[in-house]
Every structure is written in C-alpha cells, then in structure tokens.
Amino acid sequence: MAVNSIIRLEKVVKKYSLGKIDLTVLKDVDLEIKPEIILSILGPSGSGKSTLLNIISCLDIPTKGKVYLKDQDVSLLTEDELAVIRGKTIGFVFQQFNLLSHLTAVENVSLPAIFQKIPEVECLSRAEKILKDLGLENRVNHRPTELSGGEQQRVAIARALINDPEIVVADEPTGNVDSQTGTKILDIIDELKKKSKTVIIVTHDLNVAKHGDEIVNIKDGQIISHKKK
C-alpha cells in the first residue's frame, strides 16, 4: 500500500459570516488521509463534520489553509478544472440520498457519467451493472418514491460509484435508514475498501465509526483525536 496521503488538509479554517458575527466552524484542522482505508469522522451534531467533509471532497473551499488532493494544491485549480477532477475522483453519498424524483434509478445512477460526457448508452449500461451488483436488478426502472429508504440509499451509492472514483465520501450514510439496512450499507462500504477505494464516512454514531480503519474525533471544529487501528 502506498504511504503518501490521498488527501491532506493543512491548518484549515472555515468561517461563516452571519451578519456582523463570524462563526468559526473549523479551527486549524490538519488531517492526512491515507489511500485505500476507511476513515471515519465522528462527532456530535453541529461539531463541523459536514463542513469538514465538504472541504475534504472539494465541494467547498476553506477560509484559510490548504487542501491537497493527490498532492495537488486545489486552490491553484480553476472551478472548471476542479469540477472535472472532483467528478472523476470522488463519489458522493448523502444522508438525504439526494436522488432526482423525476428520474428512474438507472437514470439517477447514470447522471455523474453523463456529466463526464460519456455516451449515454454506456452510462446506462454501466449504471445497470452497478445496480445489479448492489442487488437492485429488479428496481432499475423505479423512481425514488417507489423505493424503500434502504433501496434509495443503495441507488445513491451506485450513483457515487458510476465513474469508478478512487475516493467515496458518505455523510451520515446510515442516518436515515433502519439499523438492519444500516448494516447492509456498512457491508457495501466494507466491499468498497476491498476494491481499493478510499472511503470517508461521517457519523455521530460510534458503532458506525468503528467500521473505519482510522477514527477522527471532531469536537467544536477541532480534531481532538485521530486513532489508527
């Protein structure tokens, strides 16, 4: 396994301005994420987990500090360049699934590949295969409202995988499903690691965090521990 980090944060600060008040949500966060591991980010609600994950996954930029994605300082990229690299390198899974309600499962899963300008026929066939791998071969043409929460989350995971990203980030992936479905989602996450992906999970649940090879504990916008197994 390579030792270099796949993502590195240096003294990352994130502030939000609320009128006259500045709210500092991340305070000098340093973090190195090694490739091909599951990293859990654990902390209570409001501690800054989603903010941190959005910066790790280059969806958001820090107020101060540096983010390196595969040794590339992302602040040196244009927004368009960053969007292309992000689309190819990172797959996203959200707590609220974020599926488009007017599209079928296979169409939802295809979207990130369509955005990469891959021919539609190929996008759809890739999407169908991934849905099948995740046990959803009989749900390909269902719309989100016709699916259970767990099925929707598996569709969302399939969508995250369509461009075969090296990194998968998941913000509270089990937050809106029952515990049995949560176990299934965590099994899928374990499988991703076997496929040499780097997985970053955000959670407030210690039992979910324990799936990680490493656990980063965040409190009030600061990393208070980073435990490696």
Ligand X SMILES: Nc1ncnc2c1ncn2[C@@H]1O[C@H](COP(=O)(O)OP(=O)(O)O)[C@@H](O)[C@H]1O
Residue 47 interaction partner, one of Mg ion, ligand X, none, beta carbon < 5-8 Å per kind: ligand X
Closest CA to 124 of 167, 100, 168, 158: 158
Least Å distance between CB 211 and Mg ion?
18
**Contact (CB, 8 A) for 219 and 43:** yes
Size of the site for ligand X (CB under 6 A): 12
What distance in Å separates the CA atoms of residue 54 and residue 60, rounded to the nearest whole number?
A: 5
Judged by CB, which is closer to ligand X: 43, or 182?
Answer: 43
Binding mask 210-229 for Mg ion (x = CB under 5 A): --------------------
Applying CB under 5 A, which part among 21-29, 43-51, 105-113, 150-158 lies near Mg ion? 43-51
Binding mask 50-89 for Mg ion (x = CB under 5 A): x---------------------------------------
Which H or E element spans position 190? Answer: helix 179-194
Least Å distance between CB 169 and Mg ion?
12
**Contact (CB, 8 A) for 165 and 91:** yes
Least Å distance between CB 44 and ligand X?
7
Of positions 33, 38, 48, 134, contacts ligand X by CB under 6 A: 48
Token pair 């987990």: residue: 49
Of positions 11, 16, 81, 125, contacts ligand X by CB under 6 A: 16
Judged by CB, which is closer to ligand X: 48, or 62?
Answer: 48
Stated length of the chain: 229
Question: Is residue 51 part of the contact set for ligand X (CB under 6 A)?
Answer: yes
Pinpoint the alpha helices (H) of 79-178.
79-89, 105-115, 120-133, 149-161
Neighbours of 115 (CB within 10 A): 14
Sheet hosting strand 72-73, strand order edge to edge: 21-33, 7-18, 64-69, 72-73
Residue 172 is encoded by which pair of tokens? 């509270």
Question: Is residue 203 part of the contact set for ligand X (CB under 6 A)?
Answer: no
Which residues would be at the binding site for ligand X (CB under 6 A)? 16, 18, 23, 25, 43, 45-51
Which residues would be at the binding site for Mg ion (CB under 5 A)? 50
